[in-house]
Amino acid sequence: MSKWNLYEAEELKDFAHSPYALKNTDPEAVLEMRQREFEKADNIYNEVLNIKNNLTPKPIEERFNKEYLNALNEKKELISSVNYLGAASEILSADIAKTKKRQEDITL
């Protein structure tokens, strides 16, 4: 028998004859210790998971402020409208110029 086995056997004998539980042998103490270890490991896991989630790139819609995205979309629509009106103005100016030229040709 090794010294360690002899030591454990003596501790068990002392525990059996003693009204007090030996350190780390009481089932309730072991359960509490393991619950604390589990909670600590769970907290560490959740922290690492939060870090991972923060490092994962998110779609642009989630990263920007909703009001800012709405303003960008509105600006895009306004620029599109201005471009449309500019093109219509050019076409109208060309039609007016053609009409004036025809009118001059008719009056001559």
33 & 79 share domain: no
Measure the CA–CA gap between 25 and 28, rounded to whole angstroms. 9
Range of the domain at 75: 63-108
In the chain, % of residues over pLDDT 90: 34
* Calculated CA dihedral for residues 23, 27, 33, 35, nearest 10 degrees: 180
23, 44: one domain: yes
Q: What's the residue count for the chain?
A: 108
Q: Are 33 and 24 in contact (CB under 8 A)?
A: yes
Total domains in the chain come to: 2
Q: Are residues 68 and 106 in the same domain?
A: yes
Higher-scoring residue by pLDDT: 105, 44: 44
Average of pLDDT values for 80-91?
Answer: 93
Regarding whether 24 and 67 lie in a shared domain, the answer is: no
Residue 9 pLDDT: 83
Taking residues 24-35, report their average pLDDT.
80
Q: What pLDDT score does 63 carry?
A: 76
